[in-house]
Structure 1
Amino acid sequence: MTSARILAVVIVAIAALTGCGSGESEHPAVDAPIDVTTTTGTVHGTATDAVRIFRGIRYAQPPIGERRWTVPQPLPTSSANVDATKDGSPCPQTAMIPGTPPKTDEDCLFLNVTTPRKQSPNGALPVMVWWHGGGYTNGSGADYDPQKLADKGNVIVVTVNYRLGIFGYFGLPGLAGSGNFGFADQIASLQWVKANANAFGGDAHNVTVFGQSAGGMSACALLTAPSAAGLFDKAAVMSGSCLLDWHAGGLFPSAPAAKPYTDATTNQASGASAADGLGCAGPGRLACMRAKPAADLIDLNADFSDNLAYGTELLPTDPAQAVEAGHVAHVPILSGGTADEARSFVAGAMRYDPNSVTPQTYPSLLSAAFGNAAPAVADRYPLAKYPSAGLAWASVVTDSAWACPTDRGNRVMAAQTSVYPYEFAEPNPPDVNGVASAGMPTGATHATDLPFLFQLAHKDLLHGDAQHALSDRMIEYWSTFARTGNPNSDRTPNWNPATPDSSTVQRLSSEGAGTVDAAAEHQCQFWSTVR
């Protein structure tokens, strides 16, 4: 099993489980209409007592036939009536749940819009655009139900599909848009939102992009993309720092070192290798690949994880280098991760191969990852300190590959703009990834923060009053940030912005509000000597 598939499993496991807002106007709120005229048609949605929902809205032309592996094309202006009561097809992806077929419909560039049911006629609500995770290879916007976020936060939430895997990040020498098709879809979704936010009662000049995992990495890349200037006003990056850096074995015990992005030359070489493997070579290589049925390509999706390419027209610079150089959009940023990120990935590896992480393999994992520094890492993270080898290895990976790069990225960006750093540290969140099935405590692992902002598979997965109170607090923070660029309100504990010299972050837990020194907690001074 590849590292990309493990990363996808983390998110697909979620799918398998398949008012605190401010900004009120002086004008009384009324039921907003369920028929809305947009630039691409009049959409007819549905409503509950709390929200309006418009599902399956196209935001670009279908990337099928000759439009496979082209940048998304805008839809023509239309006055047609559009049924917006059903989700659009997810983009092509492998079936991660045994016994279910893969998704093969390339006509997948859809988004859903969820708004509060009651709106002030003269109000303009913040718009939050969600880019889902899934290792760049799996997932869809419709997997995340934002009704409680829209209702309690008094915001408009747009959840987006974008091309995945080989369909979204394929490249060839001379192919325009190589390595950027999924990213271009995300940018196209923002263009549609800017054009149509007002029609839904939103403010086209107050758009926040937020994403988690691969969606967070895309949101971070957006901060460094000149092509996106003016399309968004704030960004929330969840478990997706531009500086993430997985050493060998960091995503899966046998996986090579990896980063969230790749250079255009490497991306195009990967595409050429994939084409050769499918019998497509020579001058007709692209036409041959476009003629392949989607089902023939899907098994290669995992090979294009972390293949969002830089050195391209849309993304000229490696986002990590851009952040380090201070070349980021001067917009407010909310950024952080979970306290135990890597447990999801280590548990996935242990389910796949129970012998992959054991007391016997721990020294070899350290050696493969850190070479001559392995003894120092073993001294800092000795097996005797942990109940299991899995927890020891997960702690190593969490600190070195996730938490410390995120802390550094936040402090570097804080020199350029306002950054609000956090760490989700709920001790017993919903086990959305099946971590416990590998014999490991769930902890605040990757993606366990999502049920506090969304319903997954339209289910409330939270346990008890304390977790629901934490959910309310997080919704208040996220929606207030979307409204003002600052997460603080008179209903939540104070959250201080980052500084270049401080690693203090806001701690998000049902056990109480407060702050934590992320660098100290994750031993970042030590890790600065290892890399």
Structure 2
Amino acid sequence: MSKKARCATAATVAVAATLGGTVAAGSATAAPADPTRVTTVEGPVRGAISGDVRTFQGIPYASPPVDDLRWKSPRPVTPWSAPLDARQPRSACPQPSDQPIAVPGTNGEDCLYLNVTTPAKAAKRLPVIVWIHGGSFVYGDGATYKAAKLATRGKAVVVTINYRLGAFGFLSHPGLRAPANLGLQDQQAALRWVRRNAAAFGGDARNVTIMGQSGGGYSVCAQLASPGARGLFAKAIVQSAGCAGKDGSMSVKQAHDNGIATAKALRCDDVAGADACLRRAKTGDLVKATAAGHEGYRPVVDGTVLPLAPARALATGRFHRVPVLHGSTHDEMSGLVGAEEAMTGKPLTAEGYAAKVEKAFGADAAAVLSEYPAGSHGSPGATLAAVLTDSEWSTAALDTQRALARHVPVYAYDFADADAPYFKGFPRPKSFSLGTGHMIDLAYLFENDLFEPLNERQAGLSDTVISYWSRFAHTGRPGGHGTPAWQRFTPRDAYVQKLASGKDGIGRTDFAADHHYTFWKSLQR
């Protein structure tokens, strides 16, 4: 080494010693890490920080399912090197626009994106909550559900995902050379992305909770029974979806019948030529041909992605053995009944109530009318909402909890806030209170523009519910940290936690008696 070089080295050491530093490379001049930039396995992404929340939106977790990849299983993304701008959400998956929960203007099929929300302050090994949105497998997206409060109060990494919907994600047709359940496969691809990348965002890839409501809840039921999801999650939260009884799945024949109807709407009547015909169809035409509403598409018991219907999987114990938090809203069907009154301006009469029960229940109508007299819940409209809730939702909820509890830890709830918010801008019925209807529990968990803002009392319940949900994600048990006790549901003790605001709003409820469980089971014999 030259004399000049030796002098320069000595000077560097002297300066470092004077500053109390070391001579390790970069120690004196390294800039603090940029928390808005994260390097994923696929490439770097740049998000945003607002207050105590850090967000990354529109991150691709699979290749765009376009052109030759339409109706193909999800493929890996092409890695990138320049930072990806992740400050805005990307397109939702194509869907009809006839429902309030629809995301408009989504005609492109490039939609397999997810969004990550974390506390702004750096952390490690936080639990990861993966949200699977509902919408009858036809509507919705992940970005609609903003998760700032769930991430910060819950001290969790929250991932909300898109997955292919309607004809793009769940079409089955005897002439279409395509695997079934592409939407479920997309969800699994997103979970594999989480396994690869959770640590980069401060999450623990070994502590992932999948969580869904309605169609998303039925998706969780399906993932519990799907071999492809093995090892991808450690806990499950199912909201307003029964994994037993009416479990949200359909047979191959049912799916083929629906698929043939879709193909005919596109003039693809010839089964032999259906594959080529359907693949030529434009995105917008497929959306128009999609069976809108709530019954056209479901996970298919195909023998591969879903070997058994979820109800059968639970009954035989052939599902992933993880703790489950499961429940429903107390008034699931109040919105449907209330909307009819709000649109017509006419409350349901006792005679109208009897006619609707007779139409819905046929030979069992007399028994239903005896069990639920028209005024038993305050008004005919409220009574009809209770009948439909108890028969279609509550009975399946308790069946699910009992089936799960034979094999895994279960925590059950009934979300029963008597004066909950409602869909923003939608009129309420005048003859009865809506209570907590279908989807309304989500107003307490997410910031979502669909719902009216929470008042102070509702915000307090939101704090408690988020504490329960996030504590479950952390430990597999929802109680603790100052929240009211919540006991486990067991085969011997069917403990169900009531979730409501106000004095005595949270605690044990007799769910079976409240929702006439014994009566409805007697009709099934």
Q: Same fold (TM over 0.5)?
A: yes
What displacement does 1:174 show? Answer: 5.7
Partner Cα separation in structure 1 for residue 521 and residue 506 of structure 2: 29
Q: Deviations over 1:212-269 (max 9, x none)?
A: 1110110111111122100111000011121364xxxxxxxxxxxxx62111221022
What whole-Å deviation, never above 9, does each CA across 1:65-103 have from its counterpart, x for those lacking one? 221212211213443421101101011112237999642
For residues 147-196 of structure 1, the C-alpha deviation after alignment (integer angstroms, 9 at most, x for no partner) is: 01101111000001111112211111264554411111111110111111
Q: Distance in 2 between matches of 1:75 and 1:153?
A: 31
Distance 1:67 1:212, change over 3 A: same
1:55 has 2:57 as partner: yes
Structure 1: 5+ residue stretches without partners: 1-29, 246-258
Where in structure 2 are the equivalents of 1:119-518 lying within 5 Å? 119-120=122-123, 123-173=124-174, 175=176, 178-243=179-244, 245=246, 260-282=248-270, 283-299=272-288, 300-302=290-292, 305-350=296-341, 358-432=349-423, 436-439=427-430, 440-457=432-449, 461-464=453-456, 466-511=457-502, 512-518=505-511
Q: How far 1:142 sits from its partner (Å)?
A: 0.8
- Which structure has more relative contact order (CA 8 Å, sep 6+)? It is 1
Q: Secondary structure at the match of 1:404?
A: helix
1:110 partnered with 2:113: yes
**Structure 2 counterpart SS, 1:157:** strand
1:181 to 1:357, Cα distance in 2 relative to 1, 3 A? farther
- Cα distance between partner residues in 1 of 2:424 and 2:450: 17
Give the secondary-structure state (helix, strand or coil) at the position aligned to 1:310. Answer: coil
> Given that residues 418 and 498 in structure 1 are in contact (C-alpha distance below 8 angstroms), is that contact kept between their aligned partners in structure 2?
yes
Secondary structure of the 1:406 match is helix
User: Taking structure 1 as reference, are residues 97 and 496 closer, same or farther at Cα in structure 2, changes over 3 Å only?
Assistant: closer
Q: Post-superposition shift, 1:460? A: 7.6
Count of residues paired in the alignment? 486
Paired residues of 1:244 and 1:401 also in contact (CA < 8 A): no
AA in 1 matched with 2:161: V
Partners of 2:342 and 2:427 within 8 A in 1 = no
Partner SS state of residue 362, structure 2: helix
Larger Rg: 1 or 2? 2
1:389 Cα deviation after fit: 2.7
Q: Which residue of 1 aligns with 2:20?
A: none
8 Å CA contact 2:138–2:297 kept in 1: the answer is no
Q: Which amino acid aligns with 1:452?
A: Y
The verdict on how the C-alpha distance between 1:176 and 1:482 changes in structure 2, with shifts beyond 3 A counting, is: farther
Equivalent position SS for 2:350? coil
Separation in structure 1 between the aligned mates of residue 374 and residue 451 of structure 2, nearest angstrom: 38
The residue number in structure 2 matching 1:255 is: none
Instruction: Name the SS of the counterpart of 2:521 in structure 1.
Output: helix
Where does structure 2 lack aligned partners over 5 or more consecutive residues? Answer: 1-31
Per the alignment, in what secondary structure is the counterpart of residue 127 of structure 1?
Answer: strand
Distance 1:275 1:147, change over 3 A: same
Identity of aligned residues (%): 41
3-state secondary structure, aligned to 1:449: helix
Cα drift, residue 452 of structure 1 = 1.1
What do you get for the CA RMSD once the two structures are aligned?
2.4
One-letter amino acid matched to 2:390: D
CA deviation after TM superposition for structure 1 residue 435, in Å: 6.7
Which residue of 85, 89, 92 corresponds with 1:90? 92
User: How big is the shift at 1:202?
Assistant: 0.8
- 2: CA distance between counterparts of 1:81 and 1:403? 48
Residue equivalent to 2:40: 38
User: Is the contact between residue 91 and residue 110 of structure 2 (CA under 8 Å) also seen in structure 1?
Assistant: yes
